[in-house]
Amino acid sequence: MCWADLLLLPAAPYRLAAFPFAALFHHLCASGHLSLSARYIFLLAGGCLLAGTAMGSYAVLLLIPAAGSVLVLLSVSPARAHTWVFALQMSWQTLCHLGLSRQELDPQDARPAITLSTIMLLTQKATSLGLDIHEGVVPLQLGQGLLQRALPLCSYLLFFPALLGGPLCSFSRFRAQVESSEALPCWLRAVGQRCLCALALQGLRAGLAAGLASRQGCAGPGCLPCLWARALLLRLAYYVHWVLDEALLEAAGFGPEAGQGDLSLHDLWMLETTHRLAVFARTWNKSTSRWLRRLVFQRCPAQPLLATCAFSAWWHGLRPGQVFGFLCWAVMVEADYRIHPFLSARATSQSVKLLYRGTTWVFTQLIVAYILVAVETESFSMLCLLWTSCNSILPLSYGLTLLLLLLVKKLKQN
């Protein structure tokens, strides 16, 4: 089953179909026709309907952990909320990954891949909410009835504008936006701009795909231009869906705060022009990066970067390509932190600085392409072909340089 293509492409029609309902919700809230409870119910019912439409019978795999997380949050003490929710979500998600990946499913059936992607997003929201409760950011309203306390939580975990994708929104911000009765200024223009941006990116992606399909000769994992073009194709697919996700959130009145979205024009420029792997890592899928930083990086006393990348591989499904790709990512970012200060200190003249930036930009592009293709590789045999190709020379060189710099540092300390 081609999980890479399924995760990126088939959910788009369901996102587009949700736009009228998002705009209707925004209009009804701004005009004051919906009470607070009705707003929560509208968002929750829309999420359940969208899940049933996009996933079919697989939607049960999403609704079970959502209901379980709400019951846990309402039952356990705030000090234990995060631990229990984390254990529930990651256990269920891992079982779903293992169960669905071992079944012989129809390659044309997108529902299992959409379901897995949505469960991963649910894990983000549930663990973020569990941390908020654990840290006292979100106090539980103990004086209210069970239904009054459960409705906002269920609505947050399953609200339809962010069900299939979008930047992570905190529960506090979600609740504030639901309670707000003001229409967002120029929201229609913002939605239109994002949709036009998605259309332009999709056109670029289609042109690149056509050019790649017509290319003769070099086409395997050992072909450097082919590897780079394939990775660019994957990145463009991600960009299209991130822009559509944010447009849908804008249409419903849940637009992300400035700098809190997954992809702005500044982010797009930064991703494609930066010569630093560390900068790319911080900018790529920013809301997920912030979630991982809060969930793992800031809470890990030793080797936080390695632990974060290892958890990211677990969260994505623990396929061989994902394990290798994310562990390679950790090594490459650590090498980037140490190599660039060493090189930039020696780039004194303008011409040398230009050479340094140009060369390291090419290296960054090739390493990102290598890791992205590795993460999206389905079979172990294809991963072995990637390992034994000439494309492994640059990541291996970065790894050896990191070892050399660490050895020099240790010798200086001694």
Report the amino acid identity of residue 139: P
Report CA torsion sign: 319, 324, 330, 336: negative
Is-contact 195 202, C-beta < 8 A? no
Between CA 249 and CA 61 the distance in angstroms is 24
Cα diameter, the chain: 72
| Active-site residue identified among 26, 97, 134, 316 | 316
Catalytic, 316? Answer yes
Q: For residue 275, which phi and psi values (nearest 5 degrees)? A: -105, 10
DSSP 3-state helix, strand, coil percentages of the chain (rounded to 5)? 80, 0, 20
Catalytic, 285? Answer yes
Task: For residue 124, give the nearest of 293, 356, 342, 329 by alpha carbon.
Answer: 293
Is-contact 222 390, C-beta < 8 A? yes
Which residue do the tokens 């637009």 mark? 255
CA angle 61, 16, 285 (to 5 degrees): 70
Between CA 231 and CA 374 the distance in angstroms is 10
Between CA 222 and CA 219 the distance in angstroms is 8
| Residue numbers annotated as active site | 285, 316
